[in-house]
Homo-oligomer: A and B are copies of this chain.
Amino acid sequence: MIFQFPIRVFYEDTDMAGIVYYANYLRYIERARSDWVRNIGVDQNAMRAAGQVFVVSRVEADYITPARFEDELVVITDVVKVTKVRMVFDQKVFRGETLLFKALVTAACINEAGRVVRLPAEIKVSD
């Protein structure tokens, strides 16, 4: 399943090198994952009220071409693997046809004790 999410680069995202600060790509792709999760019917506010939150356990990120102020970007999110307790996302940030950034992100769901729990039922286990 491929999911698209648009991003506009604002002043807050840039650093004195004139490009998007490297940590901010993690903000960008998290917005896309939150939007995906909302679109499949998961309510993160309700989850949190029930003591559960998503956490990222691993990120492998490649910075290919810098994004700049006012760029219109698209985050492409592909859910490549889902087990009962773990999801892997393949996420890419494009400006038009140009790939700027890509990451493999592993996420899970934990309870208030910090223990990994089953993912919400709306997130279907892949084969």
Contacts and interface: CB of A to CB of B under 8 A. Distances in A.
Contacts of A15: 11-12, 14-16
The A contact surface, by secondary structure, is mixed
A8 B6 CA distance: 12
Interface residues on A, range: 35 or more
A57 interface: yes
Interface of A: 8, 10-12, 14-19, 21-24, 26-27, 30-31, 34, 38, 44-45, 48, 53, 55-63, 65-66, 68-70, 114
27 contacts: A10-B27, A11-B16, A12-B21, A12-B27, A14-B15, A16-B19, A16-B48, A16-B69, A17-B48, A18-B48, A22-B26, A22-B30, A22-B55, A23-B23, A23-B24, A23-B27, A34-B70, A44-B70, A45-B69, A48-B69, A55-B66, A56-B63, A57-B62, A58-B60, A58-B61, A59-B59, A66-B114
